[in-house]
A and B are shown apart, each in its own frame.
Chain A
Amino acid sequence: MSAIDLDGVTKRFEDVTAVSDLSLTVEEGEIFGFLGPNGAGKSTTINFLLDFVRPTSGTVTVLGHDAREDSVAVRERTGVLPEGFDVYDRLTGRAHVEFAIDSKDVDADPDAVLERVGLADAADRQAGGYSKGMRQRLALAMALVGDPELLILDEPSSGLDPAGAKEMREIVLAEAERGTTVFFSSHILEQVEAVCDRVGILRAGELVAVDSIEGLREASDADATLRVTVGERVDDDVLAAVRDLSGVDRVERDGDDALRVACESDAKTRVVTELEDSGVSVTDFTTEEASLEDLFLAYTERDEDVGGGADAPADDPTEDAPVEDAEVSR
């Protein structure tokens, strides 16, 4: 049985199609990453799973239950870290976890759960005084109550510092180890790469691709760019020699003291070695990570890999902040 099964799901809000004919299956025990820029429809899709939002058409099945008719049965076995949530300001951290324990009707020790997410010290403080990261941890604690079979995490590391994001990752991996299916969304490529078995890529309400993490790496590496800072202007014949190296697509000058090299990731060392062997002094080099936008291009340009239609609808789904949209499409 699959953990999540979306079949031909479309959601139209008044003047906007947020999700268009989405079909997606997540198997039990999988860590599935749901990747896409803000506003792509990730949260809307997650909201289908929890019956927060009802699709205009299509069916949604979670853990074998219809997400609309049997939503409580779904949520009894699912832990959720929602996006854009807030805590109850006047209740303590422990009261929140007790509320989760009460609602799920399970026996659990609130302090043990809070300990696990690193909030044991703040358990008796009112959650209104928590930082964004602490609120995020608190919601995760509530999600973990009752050892759910499915974890749904919507942008789990937003508001967390790098250490917090790492802890979050470790908890997710530990849960997956236990056999829990994990479905989480992110607009940051590296987060998804770090933990997922498979990835679905959503753009403007359409599923652009579903791929294994290897496939994703390949696609993202294809467009990796190496920026090499050099001591002096590089001769044309040295440029030609670099260009001839295997795995290198393109080399160009970036001013007099730098080069931009489009290459596969395993060719990076060869490029630097070749430059140094030719007497060029390399002072620094950085890899510019493939942006999500590059990744979409990588998928949409490789037609045979494309899962859904490549053309974005003219409508701009506005479920998230438009500021973030601009950032992704710059």
Chain B
Amino acid sequence: MSWQAVARKEFRDAIRSRWLHGSTLFFVLFLGGAPALFFGLLIPADLRQISNLFGFFADLGVFSFSFPGLLALILGFVALSTSYGSITEERESGSIKLLLSLPNSRLDAMVGKLLGRSAVVVVALLVGFFATFLVLLATGTRLQLGSFVPQIALTALVGVAFVSIGLSLSALADSNREATLATMGLYLVFAVLWGSISEGIPKLLNYAAEQVGIGGISEVLRVKIGVFLKYLNPLKTYETLAAQVYYGPEQARLVTTTFGEQAILTPVLEESVPFYFSGWFLLVILLAWVVVPAVVGYWAFERADL
């Protein structure tokens, strides 16, 4: 196994790219700047605690905004951009012939690329979080490390998931152009369209059930299906898990839901959190977003002629 050699090569290569330098700078400005503005200027000293920014969720029913959500949206974009060309670009330039004429198996290549590029994204992210840390100290903000450290780990994990997704598209695509378009399309789905799809599917199921005459689906079940589908989106999985580290699972499962969904779901969650809405289950979903795309990508890459 020589995946370490590939990972080292990937890291050494990517660490010199201007894209990475730009992303790192951006993370520093964003993760350092936002708390500096927020804790340094906007809010009074007695409210300075991490959860007021990194656990900030505003739910206006039809429209919800959260700081973790915004962070994930940006991070997803950066991670996809870091990885979607990792195979197609090597194919188009021909450097893949150097990579694979050495005794690296295609599995080594995939694993090495996943780890190497993930390391690059995580390093950029951690540099950003280090800036956060400095600002928190400087503004005398309460650190809440018991919540903040798990959140950093979750953030790194969602970054790796998007690296894996981009890598998989790179392995499946026939050209860099195709990989670019597929990545943009998928990002659009995750960032914008997923909510409508996950709300539409239970309605469609309900309609279909009524048509075939087995009666409609109960409203509770419809909402459960809809919210469950919503949390399959890695951006949302992350968002609700990030909320959980501050507010516990019952509240965290509601952070991206509509008022209508909340009205139905709140009693269900208060009674007991079903396993498919538990933090552990959602963590497994996030881990699946790391593993499954990479496996699918490997499956395609292994079969392809170069």
**Shortest Cβ gap from A223 to chain B (Å):** 36
Q: Is A72 within 8 A of B105, CB to CB? A: yes
Q: Does A293 contact B (CB under 8 A)?
A: no
Q: Does B5 contact A (CB under 8 A)?
A: yes
Q: Binary interface profile of B, 252-294, with partner A (CB < 8 Å = 1, else 0)? A: 0000000000000000000000000000000000000000000
> Which A125-184 residues have C-beta < 8 A from chain B?
126, 139, 142-143, 152
Q: How far is the CA of A88 from the CA of B96 in the complex (A)?
A: 9
> Which A95-141 residues have C-beta < 8 A from chain B?
95-96, 99-100, 102-105, 126, 139
Q: How far is the CA of A104 from the CA of B1 in the complex (A)?
A: 10
Select which of A47, A85, A100, A152 is within 8 A of B94 by beta carbon.
Answer: A85
Q: Does A50 contact B (CB under 8 A)?
A: yes
Interfacial chain A residues near B305, Cβ < 8 Å: 47, 52-54
- Provide the main secondary structure of the chain A interface: mixed
Contact segment of B6-14, B137-145, B181-189: B6-14
Q: How far is the CA of A51 from the CA of B304 in the complex (A)?
A: 10
Q: How far is the CA of A102 from the CA of B12 in the complex (A)?
A: 13
A90 nearest in chain B by CB position? B16
Given A91-B12, A91-B13, A84:B105 Cβ within 8 A: no
Select which of A53, A82, A105 is within 8 A of B2 by beta carbon.
Answer: A105
Q: How far is the CA of A271 from the CA of B65 in the complex (A)?
A: 93
Interfacial chain B residues near A52, Cβ < 8 Å: 97, 100, 305-306
Q: Is A104 within 8 A of B13, CB to CB? A: no
Q: Is B101 within 8 A of A104, CB to CB? A: no
Interfacial chain B residues near A253, Cβ < 8 Å: none
Q: How far is the CA of A51 from the CA of B101 in the complex (A)?
A: 9
Q: Is A99 within 8 A of B102, CB to CB? A: yes
Q: What is the number of residues of chain B that contact chain A, defined by CB distance less than 8 Å?
A: 23
Q: Does A214 contact B (CB under 8 A)?
A: no
Q: How far is the CA of A105 from the CA of B6 in the complex (A)?
A: 12
Q: Is A103 within 8 A of B102, CB to CB? A: yes
Q: Is A142 within 8 A of B2, CB to CB? A: no
Interfacial chain B residues near A99, Cβ < 8 Å: 5, 8-9, 102
Interfacial chain A residues near B98, Cβ < 8 Å: 82, 85-88, 96, 139, 142
Select which of A73, A83, A84, A102 is within 8 A of B8 by beta carbon.
Answer: A102
Given A85-B95, A85-B98, A71:B105 Cβ within 8 A: yes
**Shortest Cβ gap from B72 to chain A (Å):** 29
Interfacial chain B residues near A71, Cβ < 8 Å: 105
Q: How far is the CA of A78 from the CA of B103 in the complex (A)?
A: 9
Interfacial chain B residues near A289, Cβ < 8 Å: none
The interface centre, meaning the residue of A52, A103, A143 with most chain B CB atoms within 10 A of its CB, is: A103
Q: Does A80 contact B (CB under 8 A)?
A: yes
Interfacial chain B residues near A257, Cβ < 8 Å: none
The tally of CB-CB contacts under 8 A between chains A and B is 86
B107 nearest in chain A by CB position? A72
- Provide the main secondary structure of the chain B interface: helix
Q: Is A75 within 8 A of B102, CB to CB? A: yes
Interfacial chain B residues near A51, Cβ < 8 Å: 100
Interfacial chain A residues near B4, Cβ < 8 Å: 102
Q: Is B94 within 8 A of A86, CB to CB? A: yes
Given A99-B9, A103-B102, A104-B103, A87:B95 Cβ within 8 A: yes
Q: How far is the CA of A152 from the CA of B102 in the complex (A)?
A: 12
Interfacial chain A residues near B8, Cβ < 8 Å: 99, 102
Q: Is B102 within 8 A of A88, CB to CB? A: no
Q: Is B93 within 8 A of A86, CB to CB? A: yes
Q: How far is the CA of A47 from the CA of B304 in the complex (A)?
A: 13
Interfacial chain B residues near A152, Cβ < 8 Å: 101
Q: Is B17 within 8 A of A90, CB to CB? A: yes
Given A54-B305, A75-B103, A103:B2 Cβ within 8 A: yes
Q: How far is the CA of A84 from the CA of B306 in the complex (A)?
A: 12
Q: How far is the CA of A229 from the CA of B157 in the complex (A)?
A: 78
**Shortest Cβ gap from B125 to chain A (Å):** 21
Interfacial chain A residues near B13, Cβ < 8 Å: 88, 90-91
Q: How far is the CA of A177 from the CA of B244 in the complex (A)?
A: 68
Q: Is B97 within 8 A of A84, CB to CB? A: yes
Q: How far is the CA of A103 from the CA of B102 in the complex (A)?
A: 6
Q: Does B104 contact A (CB under 8 A)?
A: yes
Q: Does A76 contact B (CB under 8 A)?
A: yes
Q: How far is the CA of A80 from the CA of B97 in the complex (A)?
A: 9
Given A82-B98, A87-B95, A72:B103 Cβ within 8 A: yes
B5 nearest in chain A by CB position? A102
Q: How far is the CA of A83 from the CA of B102 in the complex (A)?
A: 14
> Which A236-258 residues have C-beta < 8 A from chain B?
none
Q: How far is the CA of A99 from the CA of B2 in the complex (A)?
A: 10
Q: Is A82 within 8 A of B97, CB to CB? A: yes
Interfacial chain A residues near B101, Cβ < 8 Å: 50, 75, 78, 80, 82, 143, 152
Interfacial chain A residues near B93, Cβ < 8 Å: 86
B14 nearest in chain A by CB position? A90
Q: Binary interface profile of B, 72-102, with partner A (CB < 8 Å = 1, else 0)? A: 0000000000000000000001110110111
Interfacial chain A residues near B104, Cβ < 8 Å: 72, 75, 103
B305 nearest in chain A by CB position? A53
**Chain B contact residues, CB within 8 Å of chain A:** 2, 4-6, 8-9, 12-13, 16-17, 93-95, 97-98, 100-105, 305-306
Report 8 cross-chain contacts, Cβ distance below 8 Å, ordered by A residue. Answer: A72-B104, A85-B94, A85-B97, A86-B95, A87-B95, A95-B12, A102-B5, A105-B2
* Known pairs A84-B97, A86-B95, A88-B98 / 8 extra A-B pairs, C-beta < 8 Å: A50-B100, A52-B100, A54-B305, A72-B105, A82-B94, A86-B98, A95-B9, A152-B101
